[in-house]
Chains A and B, each alone.
Chain A
Amino acid sequence: MTTPRLRPGSSHPWHEQTFWNWLGLAPFFLFVLVFLIVPSLNLFTGAFVTSSGDFTLANLGVFRNPNVIKAYLTSLQVSLLTAVIGGLFGFFVAYAVTIGNAPRWMRGIIITFSGLAANFGGVPLAFAFIATLGRTGFITAILRGICFPGADGAAFCPFNPYDHGFNLYSLTGLVLAYTYFQFPLMVLTITPALEGIRREWREASASLGASTWQYWRDVAIPVLTPSILGTSILLFGNAFGAYATAQALTGGSIPLVTIFIGQQIRGDVLGNPHEGYAMALGMVVIMAVTIVAYSALQRQASRWTRS
C-alpha cells in the first residue's frame, strides 16, 4: 500500500491528496465488501430472481403464505411485548438509581450488572430460565411445595404455576427470558437521559406550584419522550433479531421469523430457496427501519438533554 508522507501545506492538488487518503481505508472497505456487503446483496438479489436467474417479483408472494405471516406476527408480538415490558421495567430501575436517589452502592451494582446482562443471551440464558421456571425449576418447586391440607384430607397446592396455564416453553416464557437482556439495555441507554434531567427544573416547577404529577406530565416526560421512544425501538430490534435463546428454550416450536429462517437454511421448508431470501429481506427491512428511527430519535433526544 502506498502511503503519502505527512506534508503540511503540501503542493498536491486537493483531489489527488484526497484520493490517496481514501486509499488508506481500502483494506477495511475491501474486507467489508467481501464479507458483509456481497453476502447481503447476494441474499437480496436472490429475493428478486427465479431459480434460473431471471428477474421476478413472484418470490414476494411468500408474504402471503399463512405460515410466514404467522411467523412475522409472532415475532412482532414478542418484540413489541418485550420492548414495552423491558422498557417500562428498565425505565423504573434507571429512574430509581438516578432521580430516585437509591443508595449509591445499589446504583453501582445495577449499572455493572446491566452491562453484563444486556450482553447475556443465547443458549445459557434459556438454560437459566429452564432451571428456574421450568417444570422442575427451583421457583416452580417452591411454589408447588406450598400446600394446605384440603377438606378431604388430600393436599391442596394452589400455587403450582403449571396448573394455571403457565408454560415456560411458550410465548410467555420467551417474553420472560428476553426481558432478562431487554431491561438492562433500557437501563444503560436511558440512564444518560435521566441524568440530563436537572434538579432545578423540579425546583422551578415546584416554586410555580406544580404537583409531582404535573411536573412529570408537563416537564420530565416531554423531555424524555424521544429517548424513551428511541430506546424502545432499539429494544424492539434487539428482540426481533434474536434467535439462539428462542431456539434453545422452545426447540423451535414457537414460529418466530428467525426460527423459520433457520429451518429454511437447514431444509428449505418453503420449497423454494428464493422465497427464503425474500423472507430474510423482509427482516432486514424491518430492522433498518427500527435503527433509522432509533438514531433519528437519539439525535432529537441529545438536542434536548445536552448538559
Chain B
Amino acid sequence: MNARRTNWWAIFWVVIAFLYFFLPMYGTLDFSLRMQRGEISLLAYEIVFADPRFWQGFQYSTLMALITIVISTLIFVPTVYWMYLRVPQARPVMEIITILPFIIPAIVYVFGLIRTFSRPPFQLTLSTVTTDMLIVAGYVVISMPFMFRAIDVGMRAIDVRTLTEAAQSLGSNWFQVLAFVIVPNLRIAILSGALISFATVMGELILASFLVRPALAPYMALLGLTKAYEPAALAIISYALTWFSLGLLQLISRGGTTRQITGR
C-alpha cells in the first residue's frame, strides 16, 4: 500500500475548490473597498450604514427572523416530542410534509399565498400587521425542513420515553416535562434549527419582495439595480451575517448532522 503518498490529483481538485470558494469572496471584498478611485476606503460601507432604509430592512428582517424562530420552536418541539412518545407511526407523514417546501419552489409558494390570502374570506394582505403575520407563517413554512430535521436529530439522541416517565413519576405535568426536561436536553438541536432559520430569513428575497415588505434582501436587490459599490459592501455584510450564524451552527453541531438539502 502506498496510501500516504501525496495524491496530486486530489490536491488539484481541492485547490480548484478553494479558488471557487474564495475568489468571488475576495472579488466582492476588493470591489467594496474601491469606491474612492485609487485608494482603499470604507466609503461604500459608510454610505450603506448611513442609509435609513438599510437599518429599516435590517431591523425588519431580524425581528421577523426572531419571531419565526420562536413560533417554529413552539410548533416543532412539542410536535416532534409527541411524535416520538406517542405516534411514531406519524413519522412518514411528517417527513413528507416537512419536505414539501423543497418540492414547492418559493416563487410558486408565494404565488399560492397571494392567491389564497389576498381575497376574502382570509384577506390578510390589506394591512401591514396582517401581512407581517402572513410573512412569518411563510418563513416558518420555508424553514420547516431545517427546523424539523434539527429537532428530529436532537430528539433521536435522547431517550424521550424514559425521561418523560422519570419526570412524571416525580410529579411533573406535561408542561414541566417539556420545559424543564426535554427542552434543556434539546438546546443544541433548537439552537441549530434557530441559526439556520435565522440565516434563511435574513437572506430571504421572494416572500418579502412579492408581499412588498421592507426586508433586507429586497433592499439589496433594489440597490443592485442602480449602484455599483454599495451592493458589494452589502454582499459582504450579508456574507458576514450568514456565515457567522452558519459557522456557529457548524461549531456547535460538530459530530451531529443537521443535514439540510436545499432551499433558495
Q: Which residues of A contact B (CB under 8 A)?
A: 3, 5-6, 21-22, 24-25, 27-28, 31-32, 34-36, 38-40, 42-43, 46, 89, 92-93, 95-97, 100-102, 106, 109-110, 112-113, 115-133, 136-139, 179-181, 183, 185, 187-189, 199, 203, 234, 237-238, 240-245, 247-248, 251, 258, 261-262, 264-266, 276-277, 280, 283-284, 287-288, 291
Selected A-B contacts with CB under 8 Å, 20 pairs: A21-B87, A24-B87, A32-B141, A36-B97, A36-B101, A36-B109, A40-B104, A96-B13, A101-B7, A102-B7, A112-B247, A122-B217, A128-B27, A131-B30, A189-B261, A243-B205, A248-B220, A283-B105, A284-B104, A291-B99
Smallest CB separation, B131 vs chain A (Å): 14
B30 closest partner in A (C-beta): A138
Tell me which residues across on chain A come within 8 A of B200, comparing CB atoms.
119
Q: Is B256 an interface residue (CB 8 A)?
A: no
CA distance A120 to B7 in the complex (A): 30
Q: Pick the most buried of A6, A123, A238: most chain B CB atoms within 10 A of its CB.
A: A123
Smallest CB separation, B88 vs chain A (Å): 10
The stretch of B47-55, B60-68, B114-122, B179-187 that contacts the partner chain? B114-122
- CB pair B111–A261 under 8 Å, yes or no, is yes
Q: Is B40 an interface residue (CB 8 A)?
A: no
Tell me which residues across on chain A come within 8 A of B196, comparing CB atoms.
119
Smallest CB separation, A34 vs chain B (Å): 8
- CB pair B246–A25 under 8 Å, yes or no, is no
| Given A122-B264, A123-B220, A180-B20: A39 and B234 interface contact (C-beta under 8 Å) | no
A115 closest partner in B (C-beta): B250
Q: Pick the most buried of B10, B90, B109, B204: most chain A CB atoms within 10 A of its CB.
A: B10
Tell me which residues across on chain A come within 8 A of B38, comparing CB atoms.
none
B146 closest partner in A (C-beta): A119
CA distance A34 to B14 in the complex (A): 46
- CB pair A180–B24 under 8 Å, yes or no, is yes
Tell me which residues across on chain B come within 8 A of A28, comparing CB atoms.
75-76, 79
- CB pair A43–B108 under 8 Å, yes or no, is yes
- CB pair B106–A243 under 8 Å, yes or no, is yes
- CB pair B221–A241 under 8 Å, yes or no, is no
Tell me which residues across on chain B come within 8 A of A183, comparing CB atoms.
17, 20
List residues of B (70-114) whose CB comes within 8 Å of A's CBs.
75-76, 78-79, 82-83, 86-87, 90, 94, 97, 99-114
User: Interface digits, B209-250 against A, CB 8 Å rule (1 contact, 0 not)?
Assistant: 010000001001100110010011011001100110011001
- CB pair A101–B3 under 8 Å, yes or no, is yes
CA distance A124 to B14 in the complex (A): 24
CA distance A266 to B93 in the complex (A): 34
Q: Is B37 an interface residue (CB 8 A)?
A: no
Q: Which of the residues A25, A179, A241 comes within 8 Å of B20, measured between beta carbons?
A: A179
Interface of B is mostly: helix
Tell me which residues across on chain A come within 8 A of B137, comparing CB atoms.
31, 34-35
- CB pair B263–A110 under 8 Å, yes or no, is no
A91 closest partner in B (C-beta): B13
Tell me which residues across on chain B come within 8 A of A31, comparing CB atoms.
75, 137, 140
| Given A31-B140, A122-B205: A128 and B9 interface contact (C-beta under 8 Å) | no
| Given A128-B24, A128-B235, A243-B105: A21 and B115 interface contact (C-beta under 8 Å) | no
7 closest A-B pairs by CB: A100-B10, A132-B27, A241-B105, A39-B112, A96-B10, A131-B31, A124-B235
- CB pair B104–A119 under 8 Å, yes or no, is no
B108 closest partner in A (C-beta): A280
Q: Is B170 an interface residue (CB 8 A)?
A: no
CA distance A136 to B31 in the complex (A): 9
Tell me which residues across on chain B come within 8 A of A21, comparing CB atoms.
82, 86-87
Smallest CB separation, A175 vs chain B (Å): 13
- CB pair A238–B23 under 8 Å, yes or no, is no
Q: Which of the residues B7, B30, B31, B168 comes within 8 Å of A6, measured between beta carbons?
A: B168
Q: Is B126 an interface residue (CB 8 A)?
A: no
Tell me which residues across on chain A come within 8 A of B11, comparing CB atoms.
96, 102, 106
Tell me which residues across on chain A come within 8 A of B210, comparing CB atoms.
262, 265-266
Smallest CB separation, A191 vs chain B (Å): 11
Smallest CB separation, B103 vs chain A (Å): 5
Smallest CB separation, B206 vs chain A (Å): 6
Tell me which residues across on chain B come within 8 A of A110, comparing CB atoms.
14, 17-18
